[in-house]
Structure 1
Amino acid sequence: MSSVREVAELAGVSVGTVSRYLNGQQLKAANQAKIAAAIEQLDYKQNIIAKGLKNNQSFSIGLLMNSISSRFGAEVVSGIEQRVEQQGYSLLLSGFSDQPALIDQKIDYLMAHSIDGLIVFLAGEEWQGMERLAALDIPVVTINNPNQLRNVDSILLDDRASVAQVMQQIIDLGHQNIGMIAANQDDYVARERLAGAKQTMAAYPDRQLHVFEGDYSRTSGYRGAQALLAEGITALFVSNDNMAFGALTYLSENGIRIGQDLLFGHYDYADEHQFGQLPILSIQPPTEAIGLAVAKLLLDRLQNKTQSDGQTILMHHEINGLN
């Protein structure tokens, strides 16, 4: 196994320069290039355990979330993992599976494993102890959870603005009665999406918004489509992809043609392998980019050893119109 000294000799720099490079410090571009080439040629591998003991670091990052089973969650985690592993960190995942009472216990578990930073992917409504995050002595980043906590940075999505824009498109196409299958309004994200629809509709008193509140399940999407079609809607927007599957099942079973009998839009995905070539309006979150942004935010604080007053970064969705 090659050593730091061998890397330094091959690169023509000092051992100290190589050490600074490995610790993420900025060097002259020429020196960085020579060291990177030497590391690749020698297939040098850092002894992360020894480095961690020396610097009081574990080189692991905790990720607390409800469940990784959703496609959205899985793709965000993939983006996080991709970035942190490039920087020599491992991801320690802990879930609470719809049991908020376990969240404090899960944080204790992660902290007991000496994590260097923590990513929290849950709704504030799920856990009333968010203030605890500000007291942790490690950097913390939350996803889709607005807060005003010191030491806690946040990544948010423009759910309200995106749904408002889609509703405007639907209105511009001449629809008078518009249906929306929303999710449970105990959820911050669900409230933002419904608020976006109402924001646009408020400017058009001659149009009607019919709302069915689901629970993110396919069954509620199916029932929502059934109930809203009975109210005479000509356009339907579903605020989650899982409920969209349920709604599409109802439409298919009842011979309702998308693009002819009904305009259909939904939030999350417009994957042609799932929906074929249906004329669908969609809002797609930049899942991998979210994960990369979260990881970058946390890694920057770890490498620069900086405190934070709690900054918020807003990310934008991609809106796909009708073909």
Structure 2
Amino acid sequence: MAATVRDVAGRASVSIGTVSRYLNGQSLRDSNRERIEAAIRELNFKENIIAKGLKNNRSMTVGLMISGYVDFFATQIAYNIELELEKNNYSLTVCEFNNNSQRLEKKLEFLMNRSVDGIIIYVSNIYESQMLRKCVELGIPVVSINGIINGGEGIDSIVVDNANSSYQAIEYLIRSDHKRIAIINGQLEDYTYRERMQGYVKALQEYGIKMDPALISTSYQNNFLENACQSFIDIYNQLERNSRPTAVFTANMIMTYGVMKAINQLNLDCPQNISFIGFDWNPAFDVYRPPLTVVRQPENRIGILAAKLILDQLSGRRKSRTHITTIESQLKINQSVAPCKE
């Protein structure tokens, strides 16, 4: 016969109410929590999640909206969110909206119809969303990652310091004596790419380097890889030899793959002919020849923090509020940057 809450309480020498508070994520004295956890292990106690949801009028499910499935950064965040939620007996429902505002509204309506208890949204732009505002009005906790929601009163946001991250990357190239630094960026209407461009511009200005529009190119979301590839080929081939870039910085992972492809097609030697830094890390970049220097965002930490913010609101430990948490990235130095010889 399966163990019950009463059995756990008896074995741990605490009240049933104390066990219930533990199961609902409320704070307890360390001694009580340790005895309850020991009793759960000894009795092989399994909480009835369906019954708990019915009792608390909850689905024990959190919805996650992501902009696409091909982004390693986004999938790692989703993985860590799910791990953290599972520790607290919540499951995760994932929807993709391809950075389309109409699709976003439709998918949010789907999640609300599924009675999710909270919503985490991974965005790369600043959106206005009637459905998100409705969620907040209904008391459904919402956390945004990587972007900020317009009119997002009551929504917690987690963002990486994009401007400072790209500044550090460009500064590293400048200190390696590079002055002609190309950037392959996304559209400036997008919050993320606007911030990354600001870091690029600031670094050049602070080091007294004149910005050359011929070294700046935009890659479009519907085909980042091929756009980035062709953009760098065009920059390199259309400029005179003495005006060509000696280094390149890409503003996301897919663009990085595109410039890798371009470097191969141009038969350039990295880092002897061109130094290269990308934004976002992927395990493949460590086996690229040479291993790539990248701005690495703390995807594990971001996922765990997003889940904890939702869980804290669901447990009552934290009220919904408009707060932006800014997290620093790390410049992961490898072998794709060499001192400029020109």
Specify the alignment match of 2:3 in structure 1: 2
Measure the CA separation in 2 of the matches of 1:304 and 1:126: 27
In the superposition, relative to structure 1, how do residues 220 and 191 fare at CA in structure 2: closer, same or farther (>3 Å)? Answer: same
Specify the alignment match of 1:138 in structure 2: 140
Query: Structure 1 residue 71: deviation in Å?
Result: 1.0
Specify the alignment match of 2:247 in structure 1: 235
Specify the alignment match of 1:92 in structure 2: 93
Write the mapping of 1:147-296 to structure 2, written as runs, cut at 5 A: 147=149, 149-209=152-212, 210-216=215-221, 217-230=224-237, 231=239, 232-269=244-281, 271=283, 275-278=287-290, 280-296=292-308
Q: Residue type matched to 2:172 in 1?
A: Q
Measure the CA separation in 2 of the matches of 1:125 and 1:296: 23
Query: Structure 1 residue 124: deviation in Å?
Result: 4.2
Equivalent position SS for 2:254: helix
The answer to which of 157-166 and 222-231 deviates more is 222-231
TM-score w.r.t. the length of structure 2 is 0.88
Q: Residue type matched to 1:222 in 2?
A: C
Measure the CA separation in 2 of the matches of 1:186 and 1:18: 51
Measure the CA separation in 1 of the matches of 2:285 and 2:147: 31
Measure the CA separation in 2 of the matches of 1:272 and 1:117: 34
Equivalent position SS for 1:68: coil
Measure the CA separation in 2 of the matches of 1:4 and 1:75: 35
Equivalent position SS for 2:187: coil
Q: CA RMSD in A?
A: 2.0
Measure the CA separation in 2 of the matches of 1:99 and 1:270: 25
Query: Structure 1 residue 114: deviation in Å?
Result: 1.6
Query: Structure 1 residue 18: deviation in Å?
Result: 1.5
Query: Structure 1 residue 284: deviation in Å?
Result: 0.8
Structure 1: where are the runs of 5+ without partners? none
Tell me if the contact between 1:270 and 1:282 (Cα under 8 Å) persists in the aligned partners.
Answer: no
Specify the alignment match of 1:111 in structure 2: 112
Measure the CA separation in 1 of the matches of 2:253 and 2:198: 18
Specify the alignment match of 1:15 in structure 2: 16
Q: Deviations over 1:176-207 (max 9, x none)?
A: 21111111222111111111101111224444
Equivalent position SS for 1:145: coil
Tell me if the contact between 1:270 and 1:280 (Cα under 8 Å) persists in the aligned partners.
Answer: no
Tell me if the contact between 2:187 and 2:193 (Cα under 8 Å) persists in the aligned partners.
Answer: yes
In the superposition, relative to structure 1, how do residues 124 and 250 fare at CA in structure 2: closer, same or farther (>3 Å)? Answer: closer
TM-score w.r.t. the length of structure 1 is 0.93
Equivalent position SS for 2:249: strand
Tell me if the contact between 1:103 and 1:127 (Cα under 8 Å) persists in the aligned partners.
Answer: no
Measure the CA separation in 2 of the matches of 1:136 and 1:155: 22
Q: Residue type matched to 2:140 in 1?
A: I
Measure the CA separation in 2 of the matches of 1:273 and 1:213: 22
In the superposition, relative to structure 1, how do residues 133 and 200 fare at CA in structure 2: closer, same or farther (>3 Å)? Answer: farther
Write the mapping of 1:30-45 to structure 2, written as runs, cut at 5 A: 30-45=31-46
Measure the CA separation in 1 of the matches of 2:84 and 2:154: 21
Measure the CA separation in 2 of the matches of 1:273 and 1:197: 22
Query: Structure 1 residue 307: deviation in Å?
Result: 2.6
In the superposition, relative to structure 1, how do residues 48 and 269 fare at CA in structure 2: closer, same or farther (>3 Å)? Answer: same
Measure the CA separation in 1 of the matches of 2:251 and 2:227: 12
The answer to which of 156-165 and 25-34 deviates more is 25-34
Measure the CA separation in 1 of the matches of 2:37 and 2:25: 12
Specify the alignment match of 1:310 in structure 2: 322
In the superposition, relative to structure 1, how do residues 103 and 272 fare at CA in structure 2: closer, same or farther (>3 Å)? Answer: closer
Q: Residue type matched to 2:77 in 1?
A: V
Measure the CA separation in 2 of the matches of 1:187 and 1:178: 22
Tell me if the contact between 2:184 and 2:250 (Cα under 8 Å) persists in the aligned partners.
Answer: yes
Number of matched pairs = 323
Query: Structure 1 residue 267: deviation in Å?
Result: 0.6
Measure the CA separation in 1 of the matches of 2:157 and 2:99: 22
Specify the alignment match of 2:338 in structure 1: none
Measure the CA separation in 2 of the matches of 1:131 and 1:11: 44
In the superposition, relative to structure 1, how do residues 270 and 85 fare at CA in structure 2: closer, same or farther (>3 Å)? Answer: closer
Query: Structure 1 residue 229: deviation in Å?
Result: 1.9
The answer to which of 216-225 and 187-196 deviates more is 216-225
